[in-house]
């Protein structure tokens, strides 16, 4: 299948970027990233600069393969990362527009690669358990209701890709932060630091310049791991409680 790719090219954060068009021939069984590999090989053989894009596991686990495809984070399929998207979902002769996530808190490093270290700083501010919870067998000995453990696991499925930020008209990171808050709070080991955790993480989120949630639900719709906005409501409740407790 022959495709026309309109790709955002930008040398660095301070330079002015723009779209450039390329022709590529791909197999319908290729993944989207494999198709970009083919394009880059053609560019390298032609003595041109390959397109920079981020990737790691290529198994839908790491969240690195973040990019906008025809205006949608990770492309047109729901619950799918870019590396899991295959070319059979596109048509021969189609034009595909590829660009980086657009958010001031995710500055462009080069081409399709953005700096998502703001997420790392939010996690460092409180997304962990520092209290002594004992050895592995001690944790496994604590009875946890099936419903609670299932909700915690669902929240922990967040891979921190940033699709929620890219989809939100306010570039809000609340779905990401709430997932990290929820998966720890819902387990007994995480309740000890619950109030300080949510306070620190929300404060850091605001420092990073992410916008506020306006309940458009675009984050949930575009999340490749189907993280629920229920986590945002839970985080808001925890944050309000922590605010009263600290007074």
Backbone φ, ψ for residue 6 (5° rounding): -105, 105
Distances (CA, A) of 23 to 35, 37, 65, 180, 222: 11, 13, 21, 41, 28
For the CA atoms of 16, 118, 35, 58, what is the dihedral angle to 10 degrees? 170
Predicted model pTM:
0.93
Please, what is the average pLDDT of the chain? 94
Superfamily of domain 117-246: Alpha-helical ferredoxin (1.10.1060.10)
CA distance 165 to 141: 38
**The pLDDT of residue 101 is above 60:** yes
Q: Taking a C-beta distance cutoff of 8 angstroms, is the pair 173, 99 a contact?
A: no
Q: d(Cα 30, Cα 23) in Å, to the nearest integer?
A: 16
Query: If pLDDT is split at 50, 70 and 90, which confidence band does 132 have?
Result: confident
- How much is the pLDDT for 199? 95
> What span, in angstroms and rounded, lies between the C-alpha atoms of 144 and 131?
18
Q: Which of 158, 143, 152 is nearest to 222 (CA)?
A: 158
Which pLDDT value is given to residue 172? 98
* Interatomic CA distance for residues 97 and 7, integer angstroms: 6
- Which tokens sit at 123? 């996690």
Nearest to 118 by CA among 13, 197, 184, 209: 209
CA pseudo-torsion sign 82, 156, 223, 15 = negative
Tell me the percentage of the chain whose pLDDT exceeds 90. Answer: 89
Domain 2-110 has CATH 3.40.50.720: no
pLDDT at 246: 58
pLDDT of residue 168: 97
| Three-state secondary structure string covering 89-153 | HCCCCCEEEEECCCCCCCCEEECCEECCHHHHHHHHHHCCCCCCCCCHHHHHCCCCCHHHHHHHH
DSSP one-letter code for 31:
B
Q: How confident is the model at residue 243 (pLDDT cuts 50, 70, 90)?
A: confident
Angstrom distance (rounded) from CA 176 to CA 181: 9
pLDDT digits (tens, 9 = 90+) for 159-176: 999 999 999 999 999 999
The pLDDT value recorded for residue 245 is 72
Q: Which residues contact 222 (CB under 8 A, 6 or more apart)?
A: 72, 73, 74, 163, 164, 166, 167
pLDDT at residue number 134: 78
Q: What is the mean pLDDT of residues 45-65?
A: 96
Provide the residue ranges of all domains of the chain, joining segments of one domain with +.
2-110, 117-246
At residue 39, does pLDDT exceed 90?
A: yes
Give mean pLDDT, residues 83-93. Answer: 97
How much is the average pLDDT of 52-68?
96
Banded model confidence at residue 210, pLDDT cuts 50, 70, 90: very high
CA–CA gap between residue 150 and residue 228 (Å, rounded): 13
């Amino acid at each position: 299948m022959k495709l026309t790719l309109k790709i955002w090219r930008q040398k660095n954060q301070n330079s002015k970027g723009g779209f450039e068009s390329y022709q590529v021939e791909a197999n319908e069984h290729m993944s989207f990233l494999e198709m970009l590999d083919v394009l880059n090989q053609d560019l390298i053989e032609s003595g041109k600069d390959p397109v920079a894009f981020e990737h790691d596991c290529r198994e839908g686990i790491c969240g690195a393969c973040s990019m906008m495809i025809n205006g949608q984070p990770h492309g047109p399929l729901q619950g799918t990362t870019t590396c899991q998207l295959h070319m059979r979902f596109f048509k021969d002769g189609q034009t595909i527009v590829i660009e980086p996530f657009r958010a001031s808190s995710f500055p462009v490093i080069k081409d399709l690669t953005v700096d998502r270290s703001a997420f790392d700083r939010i996690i460092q501010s409180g997304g962990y358990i520092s209290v002594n919870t004992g050895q592995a067998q001690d944790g496994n000995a604590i009875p946890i209701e099936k419903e609670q453990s299932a909700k915690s696991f669902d929240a922990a499925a967040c891979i921190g890709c940033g699709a929620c930020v890219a989809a939100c008209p306010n570039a809000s990171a609340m779905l990401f932060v709430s997932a990290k808050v929820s998966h720890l709070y819902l387990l007994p080991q995480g309740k000890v630091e619950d109030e300080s955790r949510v306070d620190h993480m929300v404060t850091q989120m605001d420092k990073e310049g992410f916008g506020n949630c306006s309940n458009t639900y675009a984050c949930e719709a575009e999340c490749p791991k189907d993280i629920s906005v229920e986590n945002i409501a839970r985080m808001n409740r925890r944050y309000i409680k922590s605010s009263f407790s600290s007074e």
